[in-house]
Amino acid sequence: MSSLRPWFALKSVPGVGNLLFRRLVERFGSPEVVFSADDSALLAVQGVTSRLITAIRRHRDTDTVERELEAVQQKGYTIVTQTDPHYPPLLRQIPDPAPFLYVYGSLPATGLNIAVVGSRNATGYGIASTRQLCMDLVRQQVNIVSGMARGVDTAAHSGAIAAGGVTVSVLGSGLDQIYPKENTGLFHKIAENGAVVTEFPLGAGPDAHHFPARNRIISGMCHGTVVVEATGRSGSLITARLAAEQNREVFAVPGNIHSFKSVGTHTLIK
């Protein structure tokens, strides 16, 4: 775990966001080399300023990182970095991938990843359609990725598990802050043959601003995204937009033409 300290250190430098983190690692190969690089080499990286170099030079490790790494190990979780072979390969291709992911379980090494997302307050039709769709997909060796939210997400994971497939959940909180609480059992079932992942540290709650960031990981690690039931202002449409921006496929399941819960999906189809 000590090899992870430089990753945490670079991520904590003020001004180093996910995009710049990626550029620095691509240029220097690892965070350790970033800290030892000279000023001229750092300034050659797009987005690096003299002020940022000063912040990098002044950075000091804290005991917080050591406690975090110890807690991750004690709970049986792992951390995969951008240079780790287990890091989702498609996620590396987006502009702002997470520098590292906390993982409970095992990320799939092979297969096609498809995200299935939709309404938290899904109708019976939405739940049944999602479950059947995901069962059919895993029988074709497709891995199902979703967000473990109520409604469509839960049905997606459950359908994949019922058919003996692999499913991955991306959380908008730390791994020790399961949300929603009623999915605690599902959380552990997913990890038995798949993985629960997050970019957020232990103790991080399901804050509202975490979910748009979470959605870019859901779409980013997948070849395509399927939306099942979404209102005109659904968060699932954010995932669909991100998938399109990441040059991935976007699909939508038709719904009841009279239901406001189908407005988002029908807009995508249109």
Residue 74 located in a structural domain: no
| pLDDT band, residue 232 (cuts 50/70/90) | confident
Residue 140 lies in a domain: yes
Whether 36 and 118 share a structural domain? no
In a domain, 98, yes or no: no
Q: Quick one: 58 and 117 in the same domain?
A: no
Indicate the average pLDDT of the chain. 95
Residue 78 lies in a domain: no
Q: How many domains does the structure of the chain reveal?
A: 2
Structure tokens at 246: 């990441």
Average pLDDT of the segment spanning 155-181 = 98
Query: What values do phi and psi take at 161, rounded to 5?
Result: -65, -40
Same domain membership, residue 58 and residue 159: no
| Residue 54 within any structural domain of the chain | yes
Q: Is residue 85 part of a domain?
A: no
Range of the domain at 233: 104-269
Domain boundary (10, 42, 62) is at 62
More confident residue, 139 or 59: 139
* Domain assignment of residue 67, yes or no: no
Of the candidates 214, 269, 268, the residue with the CA atom closest to the CA atom of residue 240: 268
How much of the chain exceeds pLDDT 70, in percent? 99
Residue 152 pLDDT > 90, yes or no? yes
Mean pLDDT across 66-75? 94
Percentage of residues of the chain with pLDDT beyond 90: 90
Residues 134 and 235 occupy one common structural domain:
yes
What tokens appear for 44 in the block?
Answer: 């050659």
64 pLDDT band, cuts 50/70/90, is: confident
* Angle separating helix axes 124-138 and 152-162, nearest 10 degrees: 40
Name the pTM for this structure.
0.94
pLDDT at 264 > cutoff 80: yes
Same domain for 159 and 221, yes or no, is yes
CATH of the domain at 29: 1.10.150.20
* CATH number of the domain where residue 247 is located: 3.40.50.450
What's the pLDDT score for residue 233?
83
Give a yes or no: residue 87 inside a domain.
Answer: no
CA angle 185, 191, 196 (to 5 degrees): 95
Following DSSP, what letter does each residue of 226-252 receive, concatenated? EEES--TT-THHHHHHHHHHTT-EEEE
User: Of the ranges 9-13, 20-24, 128-132, 259-263, which one carries the lowest mean pLDDT score?
Assistant: 259-263
Q: Based on the domain organization, do 187 and 265 belong to the same domain?
A: yes
Burial 199-220 (b: 16+ CB within 10 A, else e): bbbbebebeeebbeebbbbbbb
